[in-house]
Structure 1
């Protein structure tokens, strides 16, 4: 049985793209959720994170796996506007839902990014069918490794399984944009 502590926190999104209605994690129960966080000016997001989210969207049935992008800006706020994001989504032909993380209060790190204690972008969060946070990973994950973890989550019969280990996934990879103690990028 899941406890409140196991449950993934709800997303704090100010605007949604590619969806007619706002998305909630509660509304996605019954599906595995792959939440890819990114920034338009993050090299690792452009080279790895966004293409991986696009491949995931094509690989798994939407009734089983919900792929969501989260534009979570912790730097260069003045140039990464919603208008620029709309053009970015159009130019890259992104068709999965993308939310804009709400800016932090007295903190350059956006609210959802804070709730999930994300270190930077790209990051990947996996949430199981019951709404439990099962993986939070900063940097690149090889497609085969990610597919295996998602396959495990899809094969689970219910809330009785334990979380897959993140330790087998390498935290290596170039082009990551990491948040420092002052909210500035360190990588």
Structure 2
């Protein structure tokens, strides 16, 4: 699970529930992010509710919960206005970035940079900004909790020993 390379930057055209964020802004926190589409059943029924649970269970200053609306199909039905209503109706209050598109390319830029297979895709980024896990689909809550606990333990040990990269 160790990776020494920084996670690729996110290419986001718009943010909901937050001022614009970068991965550099989130250094010092463990980042749990899900790339999702609001019309994806696995995203709507499993990934996003899991993100909300993580947001409620872990302190914000230690674990950043981020959604990336990564639309690669049904583009017209999943625009910013629909996303805003979706986030409001389901009371998702964690930051959500809209993965940026380039004209003529159906795949958004962050999806392409991370070589995602589809949605939902879970990304765990350690406190140093390294992509430590990328998983297509949804992990069960216990597995995700154990992985987050391990990354938090690493963060605590690094702080305790004054280790920086």
TM-score with structure 2 setting the length: 0.91
Q: Which has the higher helix share?
A: 2
Structure 1 distance, partners of 2:50, 2:105, is 29
Structure 2 distance, partners of 1:153, 1:105, is 37
Count of equivalent residues: 155
Q: What's the CA shift string for 1:142-176, capped at 9, x where partnerless?
A: 000000000000001239xxxxxxxxxxxxxxxxx
Structure 1 distance, partners of 2:38, 2:44, is 7
Q: Does the 8 Å contact 1:35/1:70 carry over to 2?
A: yes
Per-residue deviation at 1:107?
A: 2.2
Aligned-residue CA RMSD (Å):
1.4
Gaps in structure 2 of 5+ consecutive residues: 160-165
Which residue number in structure 1 is paired with residue 163 of structure 2? none
Structure 1 distance, partners of 2:158, 2:9, is 21
TM-score with structure 1 setting the length: 0.80
Gaps in structure 1 of 5+ consecutive residues: 160-187
Q: What's the CA shift string for 1:36-79, capped at 9, x where partnerless?
A: 11101100001100000000000100010000000000000011
Which residue number in structure 1 is paired with residue 133 of structure 2? 135
Which residue number in structure 2 is paired with residue 44 of structure 1? 42
Counting only pairs closer than 5 Å after superposition, residues 92-171 of structure 1 correspond to structure 2 as 92-156=90-154, 157-158=157-158
Which residue number in structure 1 is paired with residue 32 of structure 2? 34
Q: SS at 2:20's partner residue?
A: coil
